[in-house]
Structure 1
Amino acid sequence: MRCQLVHQLFLTLVATKVASAAATVYLAGDSTMTANGNNDGTAGWGKFLPDYESLTVVNNAIAGRSARSFTREGRFTAMAANIKAGDYVVIEFGHNDGGSLTPTDNGRTDCPVGAAGYATTCTSVFGGVTETVLTYEAYLVNAAKLFQAKGANVIISTATPDNPWETGTFTYAANRFVTYCQDAATATGATFVDHGLFTAALYQKQGATLVDSYYPIDHTHTSPAGATVVARAFILALEATSSTLKNFITHD
């Protein structure tokens, strides 16, 4: 009987490993994550994530998007249609979510957090259409719940930092979106990954000259070399969590 139990346990472990190995990693984000080059000498870090882990990566990041515009365009919903139980979804926005809804709504800015917390809503007009605008955190919470309903493992990641060496002196401070990401992860039971912090830590070690070279056009978009470093930073940040996605890391 004991041998039978051990054998059954072994078969269960093997089946679980095979099922996990068939999982797919889906990415949702903006130009700092996108899979393709941005036609200006820059690249998103998601393009290089497969260099660090063994699962198939489907990169749905689109340049210029925010959590709000990604939602309004139906991109989260389209992703959910392809997701199966056991898959992983990494959600990372922030670069295009700031700003103001007035006097002109750019279609990307989120509603500021008000008295109702992350449940605060705003009414705005974009493209001639009246829209109920949610907070950044609310968009993340809704997306996470959508994917979790399909059985996916959701990771909410902070945005990559702008060049912290831009002034010649290293400066990095977490902004409000970091707190919103952490709160959204807590509210949904998703994994929180502080990608921005780990990227900044690598940049601090590498120094101004090298890091400056990663930003060929502005202080936000990295070269392919920089995007590779940012992808590694995500892996290092992931290793600091309890997410089972780290079981598929090939190296760091």
Structure 2
Amino acid sequence: MKSNKTYLLISLFSTFIVFSSCIILKQKEKPTLFLIGDSTVKNGKGKGDGNLWGWGSFLESFFDKDKISVENDALGGTSSRTFQTNGLWAAVLAKVKKGDFVMMQFGHNDSSPLDDTARARGTIKGIGMESKEIYNPIKKKQEIVYTYGWYMKKFISDIKAKGAIAIVCSSIPRNPVNNEKIVLVTDSYAEWAGQIAKDEKVDFIPLNQLIKDKYAASSVEQVKSYFTEKDHTHTNEEGAKLNASFVVEGLKAVKTNKLNRYLK
């Protein structure tokens, strides 16, 4: 009898261990949504210093945290080029696993000079295969610079190789208020982002256009209330939350995207 009780206790304990292991394994397998981009995705440390906010700081609130993690790895001042050449992308990619998602938004800083002494972060305009060898005065060495499209496609290729899902967002529009009028302009980088997503067969969120449509239906004062007074690019908390909501709106429009199942 004692032997049977001992056997029963061992069996129950073993079952408990197996069950607990399955729970832990399931928790470890929870996918992650990684965000990469510039300061309009995460400004500074993402804590709103100086009332400067990026939309990535508020995107997590739209997702079920029990089912997915959201990690904002964007960094202010970066372009699609420098996010890669400065080692930031390698650090993110090392964490990406099969079934994860990587959402990217670049463009604002890609129009900067290729080889200035301030940042040397620009990319060649367009989505072709052109390249140019330059001397990088920041790193004090020669560097081959490619197009905006080349760097974006490199992100996507790396993501696919990991068995993860890439999602491209067009960059948010800058403050369109000029002389107390709303002047909406065409953004080449927004158009190129859409073409890149189409060429690479990945999902695209036309964030630039979604936000501009909102601005077009708003008053000058309302639009101005979304931005800081420090420049014409960065949003305040209200503007960043608005942009995050449009990221989700754009995501919902992509019916086949597996990320939608994790939305609240």
TM-score range, shorter chain: 0.7 to 0.9
Find out whether 1:70 has 2:83 as its counterpart.
Answer: yes
Find out whether 1:234 has 2:247 as its counterpart.
Answer: yes
- Residue of structure 2 equivalent to 1:45: 55
Match of 2:104, SS state, is: strand
Residue type of the partner of 1:221? Answer: H
Find out whether 1:191 has 2:183 as its counterpart.
Answer: no
Matches within 5 A, 1:141-180: 141-180=153-192
Match of 1:200, SS state, is: helix
- Displacement of 1:180 after TM fit? 1.7
**Cα deviation digits, residues 185-210 of structure 1 (max 9, x gap):** 12322111111111122233332212
Contact 2:104 2:169 in 1 (8 A): yes
Match of 2:49, SS state, is: coil
Find out whether 1:61 has 2:69 as its counterpart.
Answer: no
Going from structure 1 to structure 2, the CA distance change for 1:91 and 1:41 (only over 3 Å counts) comes to same
How far, CA to CA, are the matches of 1:248 and 1:40 in structure 2? Answer: 32
Contact 1:199 1:233 in 2 (8 A): yes
More displaced 10-residue stretch of structure 1: 176-185 or 101-110: 101-110
- Residue of structure 1 equivalent to 2:7: none
Residue type of the partner of 1:36? Answer: G
Which ranges in structure 1 are unaligned for 5 or more consecutive residues? Answer: 1-17
Aligned residues: 229
**How many percent identity over aligned positions?**
28
Contact 2:170 2:193 in 1 (8 A): yes
Matches within 5 A, 1:78-117: 78-101=91-114, 106-113=119-126
Which ranges in structure 2 are unaligned for 5 or more consecutive residues? Answer: 1-25
Match of 1:67, SS state, is: coil
Q: Provide TM-score, normalisation by structure 1.
A: 0.84
How far, CA to CA, are the matches of 1:208 and 1:249 in structure 2? Answer: 32
Contact 1:48 1:228 in 2 (8 A): yes
How far, CA to CA, are the matches of 1:60 and 1:166 in structure 2? Answer: 32
Residue type of the partner of 2:235? Answer: T
Q: Provide TM-score, normalisation by structure 2.
A: 0.80
User: What root-mean-square deviation, in Å, do the aligned CA atoms of Structure 1 and Structure 2 show?
Assistant: 2.0
- Residue of structure 1 equivalent to 2:8: none
More displaced 10-residue stretch of structure 1: 85-94 or 28-37: 28-37
Match of 1:131, SS state, is: strand
How far, CA to CA, are the matches of 1:24 and 1:129 in structure 2? Answer: 36
